[in-house]
Amino acid sequence: MDKRIRQIVIVGGGTAGWMTAAALSRFLKDGYTKITVIESEQIGTVGVGESTIPQLRIFNKMLGLDENDFVRTTQATFKLAIEFVDWTRLGHLYYHPFGPFGLDMDGVSFHAYWLRLHQMGEAPDLGEFNLQSVASRREKFMRPIKAGNSPLSNIGYAFHFDAFLYARFLRKYAEDRGVVRLEGKIVDVALRGEDGFVDSIALESGQLLAGDLFIDCSGFRGLIIEQALKTGFEDWSHWLPNDRAVTVPCASGGDLRPVTRATARPAGWQWRIPQQHRIGNGYVYCSSFISDDEATATLLANLDGEPLAEPWKLRFKAGRRTKAWNKNCIAIGLAAGFMEPLESQSIHLIQVGISRMLALFPDRDFEPADIAQYNKFMIFEFEKIRDFIVLHYNATERTDTPFWDYCRTMPIPDYLQAKMDLFQSRGRIFRENDELFNDTSWFAVMFNQGLRPRSYDPMADVMPVEELRSRMLHIQTTIANSANHMPSHRDFIAQHCAAEKPESGRVFQRAAPLNG
């Protein structure tokens, strides 16, 4: 008996819907199944610009996309790091880079050696031991080249792009591979009486669409996963109290550093995402500590150029669905959960949801063990990213506003507390079960935001101090010389992937309000 999934219905377009459709059309080919995306032009998409992490390159490569074409089409720029301003204390700045600090030596981590020198009062700035940090400060960028043991052989990078243009880019990709798009608003979801599975959906036009597998990419509305299936939502606002954002694009101005800038504000933080045709900006804040009007005024007072649209306000709630896969519905993107994009993880969570779905792709039996494993994967991914984001708020010296007092003193998840306790002992960090953020990421945020180990790994004492000084100077010099070799970010784009001017009148894609 043929139990294959023959009809997949994706509810919602945007970044999540079209990433899902593109991936499925790439692998479920040769008539395996029919894929339909239901999308309404009347419903906007969340996001006016996206900042990503290097894992997106894997997704684009999986689809066989030409990177220069992708960059041109989405008005993208490159990204080497996140620049954190005023998080530790006012006037403080550090980078969380895409790439390791230094290199491990004789089986001992670079972090241990650097902490040894730091406790001796001799360690140069941590950022000088990371090529992406140095290049970011100098507005440099290049892709990795074959250069032997040079840091230029292994440059990790990501992108800033226009989310609307990326979705449109992937829509064409998917439709070229047989995906069908239906325009329309969903007015009803019919469930099967015998098992509660989704049977069909009804459009405002009166059309009924049946399916075997439904993928909910409807954003916070969770049209199927929550409104129809009543899956449930786990609220994390006690750890991540920000519940609103105001966004606005502005004209390009100032530098074109290959970084996302996250600037801590009195009641949250402001993002700056440089693209080729504009800069995306937003202030994520907690409405218990600042009014919407005050937040909007703060954002508008801190732009690099002229605003290109009216500010747009969003509401949201941090947390996740209790199950991302419920019966024959899989929630992808905001429908599965939301965390403010402080570490540019939003698209990554879409990508993980898609990759895990492909790894556990069902037939019409929908085996419970497969569903349970998918939910286990996604709970782990969400919770470990959550704890890393909470770290940024809790590890701070700021006492200047009630918001930062709350964040600095709030109870934190047990997993995060254990990570912090271990680090404050001897500076040790261990990556567990392939969690997204590695020891470099945790070290960058923990140390730069004021956590100080009482000691360091005793194994670092095996190396004679004079040899350690010599090796550290060599690493520092090699990274500086490598950055000297790199062209400017602006020149690299101009040479390889400069975009045409944007369409007249389309400089901003209005986002739909989030209704948590």
Q: What is the pLDDT of residue 29?
A: 87
Residue 47 lies in a domain: yes
Per-residue pLDDT reduced to its tens digit, 380-434: 999 999 999 999 999 999 999 999 999 999 999 999 999 999 999 999 999 988 8
Contact 346, 437 (CB under 8 A): no
- Within 64-172, strands assigned E span 77-79, 81-85, 93-97, 158-161
CATH code of 67's domain: 3.50.50.60
Return the axis-axis angle of helices 465-485 and 110-119, rounded to nearest 10°: 110
Q: What is the mean pLDDT of the chain?
A: 94
In a domain, residue 98? The reply is no
Structure tokens at 70: 């992708």
- pLDDT at residue number 502: 59
Instruction: State the number of CA atoms in the 13 A half-sphere of 194 facing the CB.
Output: 1
Total domain count for the chain?
A: 1
DSSP 30: T
Distance CA 239, CA 253 (A): 35
Instruction: Give the per-residue pLDDT at 500.
Output: 86
- Measure the CA–CA gap between 362 and 358, rounded to whole angstroms: 9
Residue 43 lies in a domain: yes
Q: Which of the 8 DSSP states describes residue 502? A: P
Alpha-carbon dihedral of residues 312, 405, 53, 148, nearest 10 degrees? 150
**Would residue 406 count as lying in a domain?**
no
pLDDT at 43: 63
Closest CA to 93 of 137, 157, 159: 137
Q: What's the pLDDT score for residue 387?
A: 98
The whole-angstrom separation of Cα 306 and Cα 69 is 28
Query: How many CB atoms within 10 Å of residue 349?
Result: 25
- Structure-block tokens of residue 351: 């990508």
Lowest mean per-residue pLDDT among 92-96, 176-180, 232-236, 505-509 = 505-509
Residue 45 lies in a domain: yes
Please report the pLDDT score of residue 463 as a whole number.
97
- pLDDT of 156-207, one tens digit each? 999 999 999 999 999 999 999 999 999 999 999 999 999 999 999 999 999 9
Query: Which residues, at least 6 apart from 500, have a Cβ–Cβ distance to it below 8 Å?
Result: 72
Q: Could you confirm whether 384 is annotated as catalytic?
A: no
The mean-pLDDT minimum among 23-32, 114-123, 219-228, 506-515 falls in: 506-515
Compute the distance between CA of residue 350 and CA of residue 331 in angstroms, rounded to an integer.
Answer: 9
- Say if 201 falls within a structural domain: yes
**Percent of the chain's residues with pLDDT above 70:** 96
DSSP assignment of 214-246 equals EEE--GGG-TTTTTTT---EEE-TTTS---EEE
Given 79, 323, 327, 384, the catalytic residue = 79
Query: Would you say how long the chain is, in residues?
Result: 516
The rounded distance, in Å, linking the Cα atoms of 333 and 311 is 24
Instruction: Judge whether 22 lies within some domain.
Output: yes
> First and final CA of the chain: distance in angstroms?
42
Question: How does 243-255 read in b/e, with b if 16+ C-beta sit within 10 Å?
Answer: bbbbbbbbebeee
Secondary structure (DSSP) of 466-480: HHHHHHHHHHHHHHH
Rounded distance, CA 319 to CA 339, Å?
A: 7
pTM: 0.94
CB-CB contact of 197 with 84 (8 Å): no
* Cα–Cα separations (whole angstroms), residue 285 to 50, 282, 292, 316, 383: 18, 10, 9, 11, 21
pLDDT tens, residue by residue, 245-273: 999 999 997 789 999 999 999 999 999 99
CB 188 within 8 A of CB 199: no
Q: Which of these, 97, 94, 148, 129, lies nearest to 472 by C-alpha position?
A: 129
Strands 81-85, 259-265: parallel, antiparallel or unpaired by DSSP? parallel
Q: Is residue 100 part of a domain?
A: no
Q: Which domain covers residue 353, as residue numbers?
A: 7-76+161-238+318-382
CA-CA-CA-CA torsion sign (425, 429, 430, 435): positive
